[in-house]
Amino acid sequence: MKQITKRFPGVVANDGVNLQVKKGEVLALLGENGSGKSTLMSILSGLYRPDEGEIYIEGHKFSFKSPREAIHAGIGMVHQHFKQVETFSVAENVILGSKDTKFFLNAKKVEKQIEELSSGYGLHVDPTAKIWQLSVAEKQRVEIVKMLYRGSKLLVLDEPTAVLTPQEARELFQTLRQMTAKGQSIILITHKLNEVMEVADRVTILRGGKTVATRTKHEVNERELARLMMGQDIITPGKKSTAVFGPTVLRLENVSAGSDSRRVGIKDISLKVRAGEIMGIAGIAGNGRRELAETIAGLRQIFEGKIFIGEKNVTNFSTLEIIDEGVSYVPEDRLGTGLVPNLGAVDNLILKEYRRPGLGSGPFINRRKANDYAKELVNEFGVKLTALEAPVKMLSGGNLQRLLLSRELACSPKVIVAVYPVRGLDIAAAEAIHKMLLEERSKGAAIVLISEDLEELLKLSDNIGVLYKGSLMGILPVENAEPEMIGLMMLGAKPGEDLAS
């Protein structure tokens, strides 16, 4: 890709970017949020057309008008959120949209082709299985098989390990090495510096829409990568102070709840979180993380067990009653569940407070006081806004998360339920969010931190519980929590047990 420029109203997303991928290599594409990585890859995969610049594949110049043209030229993209039809089989998903698919389908022949292709690359998938029956790692393998079936010579993987356990990530990296050994080229979009050092041959760093450097893995270390990515030395992580636990604030006794789909909800969970404690919860998506968070926040009814805040039984209290008991909730879907995208910052910040005397009186809201309250929070939490009334959907991920946290932390909560609060954020934004949570811990809040990032859990938690198929496999003190052990528990092992045995 030569001198690629892409402008959107008011922003230059890519500014003269150069990118080169060699045959049989893994090129990592690194950059903070808003650095232009996704735009660049959307241009390469035919979703956007560049305003300036040229794309060459094996010496031939291409100008893609659609993703189909890019696929035809050998470019395949595996998105972070998989594009699959849950009720279709693996084979049906793989051939969906393929140019070679005939009107009448020889299912057995297609399944055999897929089986041969997948086993050739060490991607073990059952062509006859339905997508909804698969784990997240298996769904990802289906997406890779789909691109290989379509003849992709260059695979673009967008944050591929965000939803995997350490063991699954290692398996994926082995697969990538097998693929490059056979001449495939891979672009890996990632935030994780350790992944670059483990699997990439070279790394290209974007900052502010420009290419700032391309280096081989042996020329750099993690600190140097972070400096190139951020334009400054890496921020010293917020240090976790020594734990001083108070009385139990949140208690779950044998709690069971359903889920919205065919998946399990949560089964017979007992858990205690004390004042000043961060209880980390690990688990692969679909194993009850969301259901546990929603149960504590009063968004999901339980059909067995009891929940206590302090000594008060709050089982199946309404969401409003749970809020009044001092529970704050930071959902992983910050725009869909946490905030109202089309409303401005003021309206989003008073969503929990508008009944408070002073802000509201009956059906009326005192707009002047609401504006003052919003300004105060925006300044205190460092949210960067163009205008208080501008729709919040225009904000970057980091600013959206600060806005959400400012609302949830403003009322000095007793209990905070935070679900992957740094999803998709760069190092600087993630560090700021972690600092806020550690401050609340030091003020005596009981925090339930649910995350799919083991590094985040090990850094912030005092104890870590692991969910598997809706059950709590065990709780480990963080000093005894090895990533390998947590990964095995996420796959169904009890503490101290090896799955192979």
Sequence spans of domains, the chain:
2-230, 235-326+412-501, 341-410
* Segment (H or E) for 6: strand 2-8
Q: How many CB atoms lie within 10 A of CB 215?
A: 18
Fold equal for 2-230 and 235-326+412-501:
yes
**Edge-to-edge strand ranges of the sheet holding 11-17:** 11-17, 2-8, 52-57, 60-62
pLDDT value for 17: 95
Contact 456, 447 (CB under 8 A): no
Give the confidence band of 471 by pLDDT, cuts at 50, 70, 90.
very high
Q: How many CB atoms lie within 10 A of CB 298?
A: 20
The CATH number of 235-326+412-501 is 3.40.50.300
Average pLDDT, the chain: 86
Give the confidence band of 196 by pLDDT, cuts at 50, 70, 90.
confident
Q: Which fold has domain 2-230?
A: Rossmann fold (3.40.50)
Q: Summarize pLDDT for 90-117 with one digit per residue, the tens.
A: 988 888 877 666 666 777 888 888 888 8
CA dist 421 → 30, 141, 275, 310, 366 (Å): 21, 27, 20, 25, 31
Long-range contact pairs involving 94-102 (C-beta distance under 8 Å, separation at least 24): 94/127, 94/142, 94/145, 94/146, 94/149, 95/149, 97/68, 98/149, 98/150, 99/68, 99/72
User: Per mean pLDDT, which range of 19-28, 92-101, 313-322 is the poorest?
Assistant: 92-101
Taken in order 483, 175, 98, 61, is the CA torsion positive or negative? positive
Query: If we measure between CA atoms, which residue out of 431, 18, 74 comes closest to residue 214?
Result: 18
Q: Structure pTM?
A: 0.67
